């Protein structure tokens, strides 16, 4: 029985994962690191900034350069694009407004970055501050299950009665590690990647979610 829904943020509620990987590819190619958008989507999606840096240093030793300067440019570019486009995922607002089950958001973004995105997109009205969980701020970034378990505890719902909505391998692994059911959201993710780590089902439009929950609870 599903009693609560725990959402990832980037790539699920907001079309910001695509935006982030577009900027990743732009800056990496400018730095002489031959990574395409698809490479970034596959290898960098769902990672914290520290995780991205560690992956790049391990795979492109000596080519990463001045990380602090690049990080500053990345954040400026990303925030400006969020302000300009307000990238709410299609169907997100209507879906959130219609939900009857309790829900929360769990992200690997830092607390300030998460709050900026919620305020810039207007989705903050659906998530009180105590229903926003940052794996980075909790020092338990995905794939660690801690942030998902913290969200379930706040909602007073047992992990086995929570469904996690994720678009990344790292995030899906965190939900599975938490002992939760995980559904893969594939608007910009590959179903085969998510099925490969064990998600229970996949869907590509947020307006499908409510009916999916109802059907799951009557099976």
- The reply to whether the predicted model has a pTM over 0.85 is yes
How far is it, in rounded angstroms, from Cα 19 to Cα 62? 26
Contact 159, 179 (CB under 8 A): yes
195: exposed, middle or buried (Cβ count in 10 Å: 0-12, 13-18, 19+) = middle
Indicate the burial class of 215 (C-beta count within 10 angstroms; 0-12, 13-18, 19 or more).
exposed
Residue 211 CB coordination number (10 Å): 10
What is the tens place of the pLDDT at every residue in 11-43? Answer: 999 999 999 999 999 999 999 999 999 999 999
Q: Give which of 174, 186, 188, 210 is closest to 19, Cα–Cα.
A: 188
Write down the pLDDT at residue 74: 95
Where in the sequence of the chain do the CATH 3.40.50.1000 domains occur? 4-15+88-218
- Classify strands 181-185 and 4-7 as parallel, antiparallel or unpaired: unpaired
SS in 3 state form for the chain? CCCEEEECCECCCECHHHHHHHHHHHHHHHCCCCCCHHHHHHHHCCCCHHHHHHHHHHHCCCCCCCHHHHHHHHHHHHHHHHHHHCCECCCHHHHHHHCCCCEEEEECCCHHHHHHHHHHHCHHHHCCHHHEEECCCCCCCCCCCHHHHHHHHHHCCCHHHEEEEECCHHHHHHHHHCCCEEEEECCCCCHHHHHHHCCCEEECCHHHHHHHHHHHHHC
* Rounded average pLDDT over 146-169: 98
> Architecture of 17-85 per CATH?
Orthogonal Bundle (1.10)
> How far is residue 162's CA from residue 94's CA, in Å, rounded to a whole number?
21
Residue 184 has pLDDT above 90, yes or no: yes
Task: Report the mean per-residue pLDDT for the chain.
Answer: 96
Other beta carbons within 10 Å of 23? 19
| pLDDT tens digits, 84-122 | 999 999 999 999 999 999 999 999 999 999 999 999 999
Nearest to 194 by CA among 6, 2, 1, 11: 11
Q: Which fold has domain 4-15+88-218?
A: Rossmann fold (3.40.50)
Start-end of CATH 1.10.150 domains in the chain: 17-85
């Amino acid at each position: 029985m599903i009693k609560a829904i725990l959402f990832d943020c980037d790539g699920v509620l907001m079309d910001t994962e695509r935006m982030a990987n577009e900027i990743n590819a732009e800056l990496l190619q400018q730095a002489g690191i031959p990574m395409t958008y698809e490479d970034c989507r596959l290898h960098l999606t769902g990672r914290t900034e520290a995780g991205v840096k560690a992956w790049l240093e391990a795979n492109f030793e000596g080519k990463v350069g001045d990380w602090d300067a690049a990080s500053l440019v990345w954040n400026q570019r990303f925030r400006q694009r969020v302000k300009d486009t307000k990238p709410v995922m299609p169907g997100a607002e209507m879906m959130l407004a219609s939900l009857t089950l309790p829900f929360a958001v769990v992200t690997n973004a830092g607390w300030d970055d998460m709050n900026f995105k919620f305020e810039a997109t207007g989705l903050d009205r659906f998530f009180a501050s105590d229903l926003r969980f940052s794996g980075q701020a909790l020092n338990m970034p995905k794939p660690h299950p801690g942030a998902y378990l913290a969200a379930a505890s706040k909602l007073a719902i047992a992990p086995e009665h929570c469904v996690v909505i994720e678009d990344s391998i790292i995030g899906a692994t965190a939900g599975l590690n938490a002992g939760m059911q995980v559904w893969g959201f594939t608007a910009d993710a590959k179903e085969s990647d998510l099925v490969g780590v064990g998600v229970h089902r996949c869907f590509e439009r947020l307006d499908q979610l409510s009916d999916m929950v109802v059907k799951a609870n009557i099976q």
